[in-house]
């Protein structure tokens, strides 16, 4: 039979054990969710989902530069944009490029030319692989690896 001192010690430790288990459980769940999301992101990239990029063609300083797009990309001159471009006379938030599972589209906040055609504030247009987007002097090509077959399948 253990001593009284031990029993007191053990009785106090009960609470510690339970709380420690709870803490470990919570942390494992949180980290596990993060891991799951990380693998999901990699799979999406492989499938081309949410994996679009834009490649600049003008102005000259940016030519051939690539930018990997996130789910929501504000493009403009404000530092708060995901893709911010200085000194090219863009609006603070010129356009917003949004990726969905099956494609992407552009929310126009200030005038923009897509494949040569002008579009004005308030328009929301779908984007396809190879589309050329011009904001004043900046131009880039929208590239998505999403194949048409994939779109049809989904």
Point out which residues bind other proteins (CB under 8 A): 1-18, 20-25, 27-29, 31-32, 34-36, 38-39, 42-43, 45-46, 145
3-class DSSP state of 111: coil
**Least gap, CB of 89 to other proteins (angstroms):** 29
Indicate the residue among 27 and 72 with the shorter CB distance to other proteins. 27
Judged by beta carbon, residue 19 or residue 124, the one nearer other proteins is 19
CB of 105 to other proteins, least distance (A): 23
Does an H or E element contain 8, and which?
helix 4-47
Answer yes or no: are the C-beta atoms of 97 and 87 closer than 8 Å: no
Contact criterion met (CB below 8 Å) for 70 and 59: no
Q: Could you tell me the smallest distance in angstroms from the CB atom of residue 88 to other proteins? A: 24
Nearer to other proteins, 45 or 105 (CB): 45
DSSP designation for 110: S
Taking the complex as a whole, the smallest distance from the CB of residue 39 to other proteins amounts, in Å, to 6
Residue ranges of E strands in 22-151: 53-58, 66-68, 72-76, 83-84, 95-100, 103-108, 112-114, 117-119, 124-127, 132-135, 138-143
* Nearest distance in Å: CB 36, other proteins: 6
Q: Which is nearer to other proteins, 2 or 116 (CB)?
A: 2
CB-nearer residue toward other proteins: 48 or 103: 48
Q: Regarding beta strands 72-76 and 83-84, do their DSSP bridges make them parallel or antiparallel, or are they unpaired?
A: parallel
């Amino acid at each position: 039979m253990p001593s009284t001192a031990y029993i007191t010690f053990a009785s106090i430790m009960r609470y510690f054990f339970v709380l420690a288990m709870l803490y470990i459980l919570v942390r494992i769940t949180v980290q596990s969710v993060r891991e799951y999301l990380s693998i999901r992101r990699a799979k999406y990239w492989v499938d081309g989902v949410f994996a679009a990029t834009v490649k600049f063609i003008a102005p000259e300083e940016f030519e051939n530069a690539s930018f990997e797009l996130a789910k929501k990309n504000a493009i403009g001159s404000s530092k708060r944009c995901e893709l911010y471009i200085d000194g090219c006379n863009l609006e603070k938030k010129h356009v917003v490029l949004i990726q969905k599972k099956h494609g992407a589209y552009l929310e126009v906040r200030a005038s923009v030319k897509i494949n040569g055609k002008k579009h004005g504030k308030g328009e929301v247009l779908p984007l396809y692989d190879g589309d050329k987007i011009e904001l004043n002097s900046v131009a880039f090509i929208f590239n998505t690896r999403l194949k048409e077959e994939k779109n049809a399948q989904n």
